[in-house]
């Protein structure tokens, strides 16, 4: 069951300030954005060949009063999304996005809520090769 950690998501309350902070402090560069019904994301990557795990800044829309953002998000590229989702459900995870629920490439991913409220996104390894073509390039 090969897998790799593709990104770590961080809930933010001000996207522009957060992008500026992580580009100035750590040298990340914004590479993609996603704007969907529930949230906006900006993917930050390192510009050098060694790359590294992407930092995904997430700003949720229509949050309940007093709730800033979920504690964090982890994006894993896995060989078999359904198998991982089934195991996750078996351990008590609730699903935020069921496999097959979205359109296009989103139908191939699943998003679960972990035991402590963290967001767990599972994407097929096959999307890793084309990950740069997803979302809007910056």
Other CB atoms within a 10 A radius of the CB of residue 59 amount to 19
Show me where the domains of the chain are located.
Answer: 3-128
Within 8 A by CB and 6+ apart from 44, the residues are 19, 22, 23, 28, 29, 30, 31, 54, 55, 56, 57
pTM of the entire predicted model: 0.64
- Taking only the tens place, the pLDDT of each residue in 126-135 is 887 665 566 6
How far is Cα 108 from Cα 123, in angstroms, rounded to an integer? 7
Q: What percent of the chain has pLDDT over 70?
A: 82
Share of the chain above pLDDT 90, in %: 28
Region of poorest pLDDT, from 38-42, 84-88, 115-119, 129-133: 129-133
d(CA 33, CA 13): 16
Supply the pLDDT for residue 14: 86
Residue-level pLDDT at 69: 63
3-state helix, strand, coil in the chain (%, to 5): 25, 40, 35
3-128: CATH topology is 2,3-Dihydroxybiphenyl 1,2-Dioxygenase; domain 1 (3.10.180)
């Amino acid at each position: 069951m090969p897998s790799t950690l593709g990104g770590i998501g961080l809930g933010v309350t001000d996207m522009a300030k957060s992008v500026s902070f992580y580009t100035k402090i750590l040298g990340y560069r914004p590479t993609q954005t996603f704007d969907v019904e529930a949230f906006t994301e900006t993917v930050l990557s390192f510009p050098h060949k060694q790359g590294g795990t992407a930092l995904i800044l997430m700003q949720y829309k229509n949050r309940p009063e007093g709730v800033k953002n979920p504690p964090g998000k982890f994006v894993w590229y896995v060989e078999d999304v359904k198998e991982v989702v089934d195991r996750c459900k078996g351990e008590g995870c609730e699903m935020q996005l069921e496999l097959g629920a979205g359109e296009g490439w989103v139908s191939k991913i699943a998003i679960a809520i972990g035991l402590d409220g963290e967001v767990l996104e599972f994407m097929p390894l096959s999307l890793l090769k084309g990950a740069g073509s997803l979302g809007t390039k910056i």
